[in-house]
Amino acid sequence: MRSRTAYRALIAAVGVERLAELAVDRRNRRWAMAQGGVESGRGHYPVMVGLHTALLVGSVVEVDRCQRTFTPAVGWPALGGVVAAQVLRWWCIHSLGRQWSTRVVVIPGATRVEAGPYRWLAHPNYAAVVTEGLALPLVHGARVTAAGFTAANAILLRHRITVEDAALRSLLPPAP
């Protein structure tokens, strides 16, 4: 029972982290729009919010309803994956600065950021999302939620990355 309480606390902490992201997004998006920012792909955003909410809710519901147990051989490495995903996500947010948003918003003619993890990956934040979506449910054995989120997220990310890549083409390359 204590492990379920600890798991709920982990899910709550991730939920609070999401609220922090939304606060950063709101501030950055207001700034970007004031600079002439253009939002692309609005249609998929509610689906993304719903999917990420379902990850959190589904993880708790599956653990409770299906009596999933904490298995140390899976749970501890999965928790390490969750922590790594949060570190990567906030590294992305820090690296993009005011250009970071949960939505696809670009300021035409702005310089493309290629600092931090963007030196090596075009979309490192999505590596964090994929890792977290698989690892967070598996911390406490919610394998159906992990599989369902991962499959649905793959479809969503395919669309999202296409939209984002098209929007990012309006950015200037970084100065040499």
Task: Give domain limits for the chain.
Answer: 2-168
Q: Which band of pLDDT confidence, cut at 50, 70 and 90, is reported for residue 174? A: confident
Question: What integer is the mean pLDDT of 80-101?
Answer: 98
Unique residue bearing structure tokens 């992201």: 21
Q: Is the pLDDT of residue 29 over 70?
A: yes
Unique residue bearing structure tokens 């002439």: 36
Cα angle value 151/91/83 (rounded, 5°):
60
Residue 36: phi and psi, rounded to 5, are 95, 15
How many Å apart are CA 41 and CA 171, to the nearest integer?
17
Q: Is the pLDDT of residue 15 over 70?
A: yes
CATH architecture, domain 2-168: Up-down Bundle (1.20)
Question: What integer is the mean pLDDT of 89-97?
Answer: 98
Q: Is the pLDDT of residue 1 over 90?
A: no
Q: Which band of pLDDT confidence, cut at 50, 70 and 90, is reported for residue 119? A: very high
The H or E element that residue 98 is part of is none
Spacing of C-alpha 110 from chain mean position:
24
